[in-house]
Amino acid sequence: MALISARTKEHARTLRDSQTDAERWLWSHLRRRQVNGWRFRRQHPIPPYIADFACIEAKLIVEADGGQHAEPSRDEIRDRNLKEAGWRILRFWNLDILKNMPSVIETVGAAH
């Protein structure tokens, strides 16, 4: 596992402090082992990336995507690299998180 630089750690802290409404809402449903007893971490560094939410034991990343993800090429490269490292990635649009949380949580819980 790659070492996490001080700069990456600080960037992750900054992201935790400036969550979007969708990220905040999703975190309220993922925290405290509410889904399958899994422990999620928010803005978790997986060098060279920072995952919105990651469950180490399930090797599962959950991403909340807003308008900045309209151009998917960077996300495709990132997802491919993380999948090659053994991670599974679930992506949800912010609007889906805000309007249809039960379905989002059901999808996360069904990821084995």
For residue range 59-82, list pLDDT tens digits in order.
Answer: 999 999 986 655 667 889 999 999
Q: Domain 6-110 sits in which CATH superfamily?
A: VSR Endonuclease (3.40.960.10)
Q: pLDDT at position 106, please?
A: 98
DSSP notation for the chain:
-PPPPHHHHHHHHHHHHT--HHHHHHHHHHSTTTTTT--EEEEEEETTEEEEEEETTTTEEEEEE-GGGSSTHHHHHHHHHHHHTT-EEEEEEHHHHHH-HHHHHHHHHH--
Q: How confident is the model at residue 12 (pLDDT cuts 50, 70, 90)?
A: low
Distance CA 59, CA 100 (A): 24
Rounded Cα–Cα distance for residues 11 and 111 (Å): 28
Residues 13-44: pLDDT tens digits? 777 777 989 999 999 999 999 999 999 999 99
More confident site: 71 or 105: 105
Domain boundaries, the chain: 6-110
Whole-model pTM? 0.86
Q: What's the Cα-to-Cα distance from 93 to each of 2, 8, 35, 48, 101, rounded to whole Å?
A: 29, 25, 19, 23, 11
